[in-house]
Amino acid sequence: MEKLIITAAICGAEVTKEQNPNVPYTVDEIVREAKSAVDAGAAIVHLHVREDDGTPTQSHTRFQECTDAIRKACPDIILIPSTGGAVGMSPDERLDSTNTTPIPEMATLDCGTCNFGDDIFDNTMPTMRAFGKRMIEKGIKPEYECFEMGHLDTILTMARKGEVPGSPMQFNFVLGVPGCTPATVDNLCWLVNKIPAGSTWTATGIGRHAFTLAAPAIVMGGNVRVGFEDNLYLERGVLAKSNGELVDKVVRMAKLLGRQVATSDEAREILSLKR
């Protein structure tokens, strides 16, 4: 079994300091949380950025500032900028995160429209084609974000048509978002059994499902994402003090289950990335 790749989604676009005072907004805070995750064992940082007051932004200027600072603190890290942004942002606004220098190794590509709590996360076919075209042109490897079962078939069809980058594909199965596919082992197994041979995958459990989905993913040979974007608690009623605490819990789970953890360079090899 390959080593476990741990991704830390360190701040997201929606969570706030009112919910957990350790959620990062400023560049210094984002670097602090990225380093805490890397020091604990994360090979990848999935990155949203904020203005200093916590407002989510997709400005490539802010992404450049944050990615430069993170790379200074964590030179080997794989960064996956979000092209999801925040609900209500335009496609052009969302894609601005890919306009940094150097060009990102990877970026997220959301695989369909879905309910997102009380909101609608809008990802039309034209939007996804535009995102796929950008990533093909720039040589960016997508991480395909699937929130619903049907999202997987949609993106596989697009890959067959050459509308998005194809094999080898990396999927992130984000389960447990209110209004989307529940975070159950049965649902995770169904999704994993449908991906093409040679693909890699990550499981992201939202909220209280963060670690109950991490455990089967570790055993099944997949990878795991945790972080403040998805879950603010180390355990029931106990707020996490850092992203590093959340990553460390996954590292300890992996050790108990007999799985070694990948470094960033080992993750690049597993994910077929060229640095």
Average pLDDT value for residue range 17-46? 98
pLDDT per position as a tens digit, 55-79? 999 999 999 999 999 999 999 999 9
Is 80 domain-assigned?
yes
> How many distinct structural domains can be found in the chain?
1
pLDDT at 131: 98
The boundaries of the domain holding residue 247 are 6-270
Identify whether the C-beta of residue 146 lies closer than 8 Å to the C-beta of residue 109. no
**Cα torsion 155, 9, 50, 59: sign:** negative
- Opening angle at CA 37, ends 36 and 38, nearest 5: 95
Is 275 domain-assigned?
no
pLDDT per position as a tens digit, 96-143? 999 999 999 999 999 999 999 899 999 999 999 999 999 999 999 999
216 has pLDDT over 80: yes
pLDDT at 275: 63
Is 17 domain-assigned?
yes
Q: In the structure encoding, which two tokens stand for residue 185, read together? A: 């082992």
238 has pLDDT over 70: yes
Average pLDDT value for residue range 180-208? 98
Is 102 domain-assigned?
yes
Domain of 250, CATH number, reads: 3.20.20.70
Average pLDDT value for residue range 151-180? 97
Is 21 domain-assigned?
yes
pLDDT at 124: 97
The per-residue pLDDT of the chain, averaged, comes to: 97
Query: Percentage of residues in the chain with pLDDT exceeding 70?
Result: 100
pLDDT at 228: 98
pLDDT per position as a tens digit, 137-165? 999 999 999 999 999 999 999 999 999 99
Is 135 domain-assigned?
yes
User: What is the rounded distance in angstroms from the CA atom of residue 34 to the CA atom of residue 8?
Assistant: 8
| Structure confidence at residue 274 as a pLDDT band (50, 70, 90) | confident
Is 92 domain-assigned?
yes
User: What is the rounded distance in angstroms from the CA atom of residue 26 to the CA atom of residue 51?
Assistant: 7
Is 1 domain-assigned?
no
